[in-house]
């Protein structure tokens, strides 16, 4: 009997063989599953969450298949994606299900509909913004566009799902570009007010700001980052692990009502941001 990761590859191979027989129906035209690390989980890791800015535009051939493989390598229960086109997320989700046996629910927090950026038809362009994938069903989705997005529309979304066996409110956001600190300050204030309403909360996202940035003061007053060595500092990022190609800490997993048991930052060839995951326990 074949079990674990081997079974997932076997199932994916059978499905892809069927695709080859009936026609080119695989997303992105890719029919080969990218091998996962030998220690990849066999199934969802129940208390693991991840945040990842998947980069748009980053239209390398096969990137959605590669992104799915990178996510499957860690199999988090909850994933927050930023700079996410709906059609890309749909393909990533398909790969995760059919090639790796990870059947995620998905909710979207699109703040922009752009044919030039996300494809689709000129009169029905694709949505762009945030997305949350969750192993457990989600409910009570809220999607908010910030009053001032800066040079591009930005916002946050929130859902209720299950982490650590109990309901939790999960936020996913992307703040304004790094040269726009004043705009980010306003956005972070809007987000912090929403987060403060919940005692058990996970906030995922690309904040486009290093930990000591003044605009993050409100978030640090509410929550701790999953990186146990990371916090605001008057002299710099201290021991915060960097999360971008330009060696800055921009990506956060802020926690209320949880503690971080393990934290990891993982390089990827499919984005200029690293994957950031955290394994959580009750506070």
Number of domains in the chain: 1
Q: Tell me how far apart the alpha carbons of residues 7 and 19 are, in angstroms, rounded to a whole number.
A: 18
Residue 60: CATH number of its domain = 3.60.10.10
Contacting residues for 77 by C-beta, under 8 A, at least 6 apart: 44, 45, 46, 47, 48, 49, 134, 135, 136, 163
Instruction: Identify whether 273 is part of a domain.
Output: yes
Q: Which domain holds residue 159?
A: 43-282
Q: Tell me how far apart the alpha carbons of residues 65 and 188 are, in angstroms, rounded to a whole number.
A: 33
Instruction: Identify whether 118 is part of a domain.
Output: yes
Span 100-118, pLDDT tens digits: 999 999 999 999 998 888 9
Locate 154 and state its tokens: 């930005």
Instruction: Identify whether 146 is part of a domain.
Output: yes
Instruction: Identify whether 2 is part of a domain.
Output: no
What's the pLDDT at 8? 52
What's the pLDDT at 238? 64
Residue 263 CB neighbours (<10 A): 18
Where the chain has pLDDT below 50, the residues are: 1, 9, 11-25
Instruction: Identify whether 10 is part of a domain.
Output: no
**pTM of the full predicted structure?**
0.89
Average pLDDT, the chain: 88
Instruction: Identify whether 158 is part of a domain.
Output: yes
Instruction: Identify whether 26 is part of a domain.
Output: no
What's the pLDDT at 30? 53
Instruction: Identify whether 22 is part of a domain.
Output: no
Rg of the chain in Å (alpha carbons): 18
Residue 88's alpha-carbon distances to 61, 165, 228, in angstroms, are: 12, 30, 32
Distance in Å from the first CA to the final CA of the chain? 40
């Amino acid at each position: 009997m074949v079990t674990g990761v081997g079974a997932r590859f076997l199932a994916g191979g059978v499905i892809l063989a069927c695709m080859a027989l009936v026609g080119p129906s695989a997303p992105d035209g890719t029919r080969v599953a990218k091998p996962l690390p030998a220690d990849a989980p066999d199934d969802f890791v129940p208390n693991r969450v991840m945040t990842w800015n998947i980069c748009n535009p980053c239209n390398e051939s096969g990137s959605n298949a590669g992104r799915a493989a990178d996510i499957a390598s860690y199999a988090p229960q909850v994933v927050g994606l930023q700079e996410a086109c709906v059609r890309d997320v749909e393909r990533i989700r398909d790969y995760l299900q059919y090639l790796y046996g990870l059947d995620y629910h998905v909710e979207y927090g699109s703040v922009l509909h752009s044919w030039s950026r996300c494809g689709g038809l000129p009169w029905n362009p694709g949505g762009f913004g945030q997305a949350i994938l969750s192993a457990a069903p989600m409910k009570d989705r809220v999607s908010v566009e910030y009053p001032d997005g800066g040079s591009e529309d930005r916002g946050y979304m929130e859902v209720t799902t299950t982490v650590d066996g109990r309901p939790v409110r999960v936020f996913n956001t992307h703040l304004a570009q790094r040269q726009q600190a004043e705009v980010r300050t306003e956005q972070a204030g809007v987000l912090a007010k929403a987060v403060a309403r919940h005692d058990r909360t996970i906030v995922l996202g690309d904040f486009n700001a290093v930990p000591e940035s003044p605009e993050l003061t409100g978030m640090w007053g509410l929550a701790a980052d999953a990186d146990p060595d990371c916090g605001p500092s008057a002299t710099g990022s201290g021991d915060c692990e960097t999360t971008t190609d330009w060696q800055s800490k921009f990506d956060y997993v802020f926690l209320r009502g949880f503690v971080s048991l393990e934290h990891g930052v993982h390089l990827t060839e499919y984005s200029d941001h690293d994957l950031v995951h955290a394994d959580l326990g009750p506070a």
